[in-house]
Amino acid sequence: MSRRLLGHNFSLLHVDYVKLNKKWNYANVISPYFRIYYIDEGEGFVSTKQEKIKLEQGYLYIIPSFTLCHLSCNEYLSQYFLHFFEESAEGVSIFENNRKVIKVAATETDITNFKTVLNINPGRGINRSDNPAVYEKNAYYKSYQELNNIVIDPVYFETQGIILQLISRFLNSYGFKHKNPDPVPSKILDAARYIQLNLKENLTVNYLAGRANLHQDYFSRLFFKHTGQRPLNYLHEKRIERAQYLIATTTLSYIEIAEKTGFENLPHFSKIFKKVTSLTPGEYKKLNGLI
């Protein structure tokens, strides 16, 4: 894991401390960045397709990028929050095999880290609205990213270090310590990384199996066993995740995004986009306030 972490960069988007009430009630939130919360008072909820997680005082929570969820508060909730983009040299997320909301008990170090990263990065709150449809826009992403380019080196490195420390708290959680005792074969790991680094290429299951020097049917069964997905479904999911990121953070047309994510034409791109997200590209863009 340490070698992989060295190939990752985490780009600060927002950090702030907020007091929320029942107006904090937003459905179908799906962001191209990670969220980490520390709850110091009250309670709220994060609901995904799989479960409903209570946000409780004294705990940290992480919501991986591209996790469709509903954020809500019945009465009162105060929290520190951190939003950041993840970039990987290998194109594979640290949370690739554990993309779910994770909860861990906060420590005094965690609380100090949140207060420190907030103190050394003033003015990085959302400052507009707590509605993702308002603040999740390309122009806002760019303005905050530009702040990362002008911050002095000590602050940049300290911020990176704190984000790494906070992420490490979730890597030590139950979901990561108790992995499947059957290790993922190197050929399957290589195939997953190859897919993410070559999304725009004309990839087929037969080609991926050939790279692994395995029979196509055996490769598919092995891939499914260790990822829970068929190779083609995995490919579609990663292409659409990349497309969501490009829709949210660029002004590229749908045709340009389709080309960059390996779709031969716009109708096929739209069909797979809706299959994966239950939304058309236009509905996704509108839902997230990007138009």
- Alpha carbons 114 and 15: distance in angstroms, whole number: 8
Tell me, what's the pLDDT at 4? 45
**pLDDT: is 42 or 188 the higher one?**
42
Confidence of residue 127 (pLDDT cuts 50, 70, 90): low
Residue 57's nearest CA partner among 71, 39, 74, 69 is 39
Domain annotation for the chain: domains and CATH numbers: 2-177 (2.60.120.280), 186-287 (1.10.10.60)
More confident residue, 33 or 45: 45
What is the rounded CA–CA span in Å between residue 229 and residue 184? 14
Q: Which amino acid is at 217?
A: D
Instruction: Tell me what the mean pLDDT of segment 85-94 comes to.
Output: 68
Q: In sequence order, which residues have a C-beta less than 8 Å from that of residue 73 and are 6 or more positions away?
A: 20, 21, 22, 24, 25, 42, 43, 44, 45
Comparing CA positions, the residue from 156, 56, 142 lying closest to residue 106 is 56
Residue 86 sits at the vertex; the CA angle it makes with 84 and 87, to the nearest 5 degrees, is: 140
pLDDT exceeds 70 at position 109: yes
Mean pLDDT of 130-138: 54
| pLDDT at 130 (0 to 100) | 58
Mean pLDDT over residues 261-274, rounded? 94
Residue labelled with tokens 């716009």? 266
Q: Is the pLDDT of residue 3 over 90?
A: no
Least confident among 51-55, 83-87, 219-223: 83-87
Distance CA 280, CA 262 (A): 17
Per-residue confidence band for 228, with pLDDT thresholds at 50, 70 and 90: confident
Mean pLDDT, the chain, rounded, equals 84
**Where residue 291 falls among pLDDT bands split at 50, 70, 90?**
very low
